[in-house]
Each structure stands twice: as C-alpha cells, then as structure tokens.
Homo-oligomer: A and B are copies of this chain.
Amino acid sequence: MGIGKKLREECGVFGAFSFSSSVVSYIYYGLQALQHRGQESAGIAVYNGEKVNFIKGLGLVTEVFAKENLKALEGRLGIGHVRYSTAGSKGIVNAQPLVANFRREYMAIAHNGNLVNAEELRISLEEEGRIFQTTSDTEIILHLIAKNFHKGLIQAIKESMREIEGSYSLVIMTDRKLIGVRDFHGIRPLCIGKKEDTYFISSESCAFDVIGAELIRDVEPGEIVVIDENGLTSYKDEVSEKKMPCVFEYIYFARPDSIMEGRNVYFARLEMGKMLARESPLEADLVVPVPDSGVAAARGYSIESGIPIGDGLIKNKYIGRTFIAPDQKEREIGVKIKLNVLKELVKGKRVVLIDDSIVRGTTMKRLVSLLKDGGAKEVHVRISSPPVKYPCYFGIDTPSRKELIGAKMSVEEIRRAIGADSLYFLSIEGLKRSLGFNSICTGCFDGNYPLEKIKEQVYNYEV
C-alpha cells in the first residue's frame, strides 16, 4: 500500500468446494493472500453438511481467526471475504459473508463491487414487505435470489442479474453448491482455480499460489459458474456486453503476482513505467520509487531510460495506526513517520520520483519537499496513470470531487501545488498499450463508464 490516502478497493472474495476434504484452511490462506483488498473486516462461512458455521470480525484475517476457531469451521464447502468499508457503514453489521437461514438450509454470499440501482431495488423490495438488516448492497442480491428461488437456483440468479446494475463479483453458497458470478462487463476481477479435487473461486489468482492451486481461467463477464457434486458447470446467456475490467486493478489495487485477463500485473506496471519514460524523456541522475506503490513502474522507467534506480525514500516497516502527538503539528511530522529520505543518495541529484497515481496531492507535495530538504537538486514527478478526475461508481472508494486534485487543477497547476520541477501523467493511450488491450473501464480518468446512465450522471457532476 502507499503512504498517503490512496484510492481504496472495497473487497476480496474467495470460495472453495472440495470433493474430499475440509476447505477452511484454504479459505484462511486465500483470504490472507487477498488481504490487500480490504483490512477492515474478515469472515468465513462453511457448510459442514448439516449447517453453516461462520465467524466474522473486525481486523485482519490473522486477527479475526485463531487456530481454535478455525477448527469450528470444518466443511467441504465454504466462502470468505475481506472488506474495506467506506465511511459511515463501518462496523461488524456489514461484515461479510452475509449468512441467511433459508428453506431449512442456508444461503451465504460474499460480494466485491457496487450496485448503482441499489436504492430503487431496496425500496421496491421493502414495498413487498421485506426487511433489511444491513445497509449493504449485498443484502439486496440475497433478497432477489431468495425471492426468485422457487423458479430454480440458476433462474433465480439470472433474474437477479437482470435486475441489478453495477459491478459485482460474487461467491455464493447455497443448495450445497459453490457459485461464482461476475457482472456483464466483468468490472471487478474473479477467477477459477483448482487443486486436485478442490475447486476455488477468487478475486485474484495470487490466492491460488499460496495454497498450491492452479489458475484455470477468469470467470467470464455475465457468467454463472456452479460447482457441486457434478463438478463445474457454466451458465451464460447470449448477452453480448463489452468486457470492461477496472483499469485501476492493474495500476494499483491488485497484487503484482496476480494474473488478470491473462495479463500479469507486475509486467503491466513495469510496462507502464517504460511507457512513461518513452512519453516523457528526461535528463536526470536517479529514479526514486514511492514505496511500495511506485516500485514496479520505477523499475520500468529506469530500464527504459537508463537512469539508475535508488531507494531514496526509506520506509518504516513497523508503523501501524499511528496518531499525531498532542503537541505536534501535522505538517511538521507529515509523512516522515512513515518515510525517510536517504540524504546521502539524493544529495545534489536530479531525481525522477515515480508513483502510480495522485489522488489529493498532499502526500506527493510532502514527498517532493522531503526530497528537496534532503538535498535533491531537482525533483521530476512521473505518474504511471492519467489524472483521476471522476468518481468510481463500481466499488472503489473515491474522495469527493472537491478533494480530487485532478478534477480541480490542470497538470501545470498540480505541478506548482506539489512543488515539483516537472510533472507528467501517463496518457490513457499509453496506459492501454501497457496492458495490451483497449476494452477497459477508464471512467475515473475520462468519464467513459460501462453504463450509459452513469456517463450521463457525470456530465452534471460539478467540482
């Protein structure tokens, strides 16, 4: 994770179905591997053949689960979730998986994404006399499936998918089945893995590596994948929506060792760095990455430009949730608690400072001044993505437009605001070339969202 307040992913999901053995430890390790997608709460629900047991709690996976309570979660079918919650909806009530008793059995669901018609759906369900016990979108999906369940499980999911709009990668557990569902544009990632006779569904493939499973393939946009005693079955209607995965997964969210849509994330970032060097060549002495978010792009920049890379900013690895001491001023301490400049390295040098993105600009401003105070002769900032100008409606926690520096200022204004000698953002074109494919959601950069109704909304969006 970066140092300042970055954009934040909201969730990671994981599910497992085994023909022979308990899956809880797979889910436990899988969620640990997905921990970067959410650190606020974690939960695991397992069906043991008789009933569903579940544990949810606030904190990291390693904090929520102890060896002993993992034993209480034995079973061949289970799902898990890690969550970062947006302000206002914090707390254990919204922790997932959401588990319901249903038809003498159960239904459990874990969700990564965000519905854009949640409000309308909720009102209409409440008009029908249904009650909601959380404020999460996920409960809406649960109700819709339950409501349509008499038509059969697959049909119920299909009809629910027709009603909900937005982004959703779901793992569902009901009727003794593990089900993976991805929205029609494939906005949030979801993939299938396998190890011997156990199937997995995960937000990212890095979770498969830790448990020794292999990545089979991504769940397709609009696909329903059902895993049960009959193995894996895929359901997909003849809808031809355009695949538009979130570009920020490649820029920042996903772990570098994950593969999404066939593309390794680390190499994509390396390529973004190279592209940046090509788009904006410089005379400079040292490439300095912002730890840890700028590391891969900085490496690419260095390779392409031939300018040596050096750890000019040193990270304090042990800082947890720190606070500003009563008699100190925020600006005095700033980022220095977390990062220190290596003066001996940067002194007198023309530095290229590389990061993945600029959101509010406050952290970048402090880093530039930290480097200059440390003796850097020039600080040139290079960002491996375009300026963030619009909010995300699909599961990323974007600050209000007033706080988005890219929405308020021109590049030159930003440069002055952060005190850099020069500033360059990677072009959308360059970004797409780095990925190797064009069909991608770049809404936060250019307002070009997968859903028409959102596009319209954005035209009326004032700073």
Which residues on A are within 8 Å of B, measured CB to CB?
Answer: 1, 21-22, 24-25, 28-29, 32-33, 35-36, 39, 60-63, 66-67, 70-71, 92, 98-104, 107, 122-123, 126-127, 129-133, 135, 142-143, 146-150, 206, 209-212, 255-257, 259, 264, 266-267, 292, 295-296, 299, 303, 308-311, 314, 316-323, 325-328, 332-333, 336-337, 340-342, 344-345
Chain B proximity of A269: nearest CB distance (Å)? 10
Contact B29 A320 (CB under 8 A): no
Cβ-defined contact, A344 with B264, below 8 A: yes
Interchain CB contact under 8 A, B129 and A327: no
Alpha-carbon gap, A337 to B33, bound state (A): 7
Contact B70 A342 (CB under 8 A): no
Q: Find out whether the CB atom of A132 lies under 8 angstroms from the CB atom of B266.
A: no
Bound Cα distance from A257 to B341, whole angstroms: 7
Of the candidates A28, A107, A326, the one having the most CB atoms from chain B within 10 angstroms of its own CB is A326
Task: Judge whether A32 and B316 touch: CB under 8 Å.
Answer: yes
Query: Which residue among A25, A33, A292, A325 has the maximum number of chain B CB atoms within 10 Å of its CB?
Result: A325
Contacts A32-B337, A101-B132, A316-B33; A311 near B256 (Cβ below 8 A): yes
A62-B321, A70-B325, A319-B62 known; A132 vs B100 contact (CB < 8 Å): yes
Do A126 and B150 form a contact, CB below 8 Å, given A35-B319, A337-B210, A344-B266? no
From B101, B209, B325, give the contact of A340 (CB < 8 A): B209
Closest to A255 in B: B314
In-complex Cβ contact of A131 among B101, B264, B344 (8 A): B101
* With A67-B323, A123-B104, A308-B303 as contacts: A133 and B130 at CB distance below 8 Å: no
Please give 10 more A-B residue pairs, beta carbons under 8 A apart, in addition to A102-B131, A206-B340, A267-B345: A25-B328, A32-B316, A32-B319, A39-B318, A62-B319, A62-B323, A129-B148, A257-B341, A257-B342, A299-B311
**In the bound complex, do residue B146 and residue A325 qualify as a contact, i.e. CB atoms below 8 Å apart?**
no
Report the minimal beta-carbon distance from A59 to chain B, rounded to whole angstroms: 9
CB distance from A331 to the nearest CB of B (A): 11
Nearest-Cβ distance from residue A47 to partner chain B, whole angstroms: 16
Alpha-carbon distance A212/B147, docked complex (angstroms): 48
Cα separation A454 to B123 with both chains bound (whole Å): 41
Question: Contacting A29 at CB < 8 Å: which of B71, B296, B333?
Answer: B333
Residues of chain B within 8 A (CB-CB) of A206 are 314, 340
